[in-house]
Amino acid sequence: MAERSTKRQKELLDYVDAFIQEHGYGPSYREIMNAIGYKSVSTVAIHIDGLIQKGFLRKRDNSARSLEVVTTSATSAAQSKAVSPAKEKWMVDAINDRFNLYEQSPNQMTLDELYVLIGALKILGLDGAHESTKARLAKLR
């Protein structure tokens, strides 16, 4: 689950969200600094970086005014952190390795690892990979 934002980060997030809704583009760091009463642009940058890491904000690119609000809710922030294709491939490869290991030398520990890894696919929202590996697991029993 995503970390909760601090009170100051929440204030900044709400400001950015309202600004974008009003203007159709993100505020500059200086506009945020003046609106919220921060003393420096670097303080704004620190809070924005924290909100990006927590999944509340993202930058479209490295240009000015490229901030986008992903969510203002901690629950949605956790869900919005999608698994990259590279990480999904790594996970599926790890599961296939465990299947191969189990087929060569069946043991309870490897079977337990398969259950955990396949369950993780479901939790991560990788439903297609979850269903196909779950079916393969059912054939082992």
Range of the structural domain that residue 90 is part of? 85-140
Q: Encode pLDDT of 115-136 as tens digits.
A: 999 988 888 777 788 888 988 9
Chain mean pLDDT for the chain: 83
Q: Encode pLDDT of 82-114 as tens digits.
A: 677 788 888 889 999 999 999 999 999 999 999
Which amino acid, residue 109? Answer: M
Asked whether residue 22 falls in the same domain as residue 76, the answer is: yes
pLDDT band for 3, please (50, 70, 90 cuts).
low
Contact by Cβ (8 Å): 27, 35: yes
- For residue 74, pLDDT over 60 is answered with no
Asked whether residue 14 falls in the same domain as residue 76, the answer is: yes
As a whole number of angstroms, the distance between CA 71 and CA 19 comes to 14
